Amino acid sequence: MVENDSLTDAGAALRRHFLGWQCRIRQHAMRRDGGRPSEGMRPELQRMNGTDLGHVTVVICEAEPDATTDQFRHIVQRTMDPQERLKKGVQFLSSAYFQKADSFCDALLALFGAGTSPAQIVDDERCVLAFQQFSQSYRLPCRIERLEEDDRLAQALLWHNRMFNPNIPPDVIPVAFWPVWDEGTAFPPVG
């Protein structure tokens, strides 16, 4: 796991601003759009040379995800009905889950199907995630980490996604994108 222990004041401010924004748009998506990912949850994935690989849906999770992962697992295993899973997942995530942005870790998590073109980026060391929604945008250079399936962030991601998609193939690749906050930008600027 790669955390950003020492950030400049500007990097720390960007991190706080971005995670607060992510929590707000996700809460909005859960409460008003039935959990459907919004534009700001689907950044453009770009190689460092600018090659665009399309949009990817990312998930944020708590720095200490184990209790929530257990709740996600319980929701999924409780019923085989995908509509009931979706309803319970949205209900859980609509409550207080996104209320405290400072409880979330830096990682932006995504699942890739093996053999898909975005999965090729897993072999790169870095990439850029470009976020945009409403009048806010962020450009975040990121370090890339392929997660082992038993990693706690991978487990949080997998069980989260199973609430929304009962047909996740077994060969998906869990990936963590770790923003390099001191190199990121926002428009309008933070502060």
Q: Which residues pair with 133 in a beta bridge?
A: 136
| Burial zone of 59 (CB within 10 Å; 0-12 exposed, 13-18 middle, 19+ buried) | buried
Tell me the β-bridge partners of 159: none
CB 188 within 8 Å of CB 17 = no
Please report, in tens digits, the pLDDT of each residue of the chain (191 residues total). 445 568 999 999 999 999 999 999 999 999 999 999 999 999 999 999 989 989 999 999 999 999 999 999 999 999 999 999 999 999 999 999 999 999 999 999 999 987 776 667 777 889 999 999 999 999 999 999 999 999 999 999 999 999 999 899 988 999 999 999 999 999 999 97
For residues 174 and 152, is the Cβ–Cβ distance under 8 A?
A: no
The reported pLDDT for the residue numbered 4 is 53
At 3 the pLDDT is: 53
Structural domains in the chain plus CATH codes: 9-187 (2.30.110.10)
What is the rounded distance in angstroms from the CA atom of residue 23 to the CA atom of residue 40? 11
pLDDT at residue 1, as a whole number: 47
Q: What's the confidence (pLDDT) of residue 117?
A: 67
Distance of CA 116 to the CA centre of its chain: 19
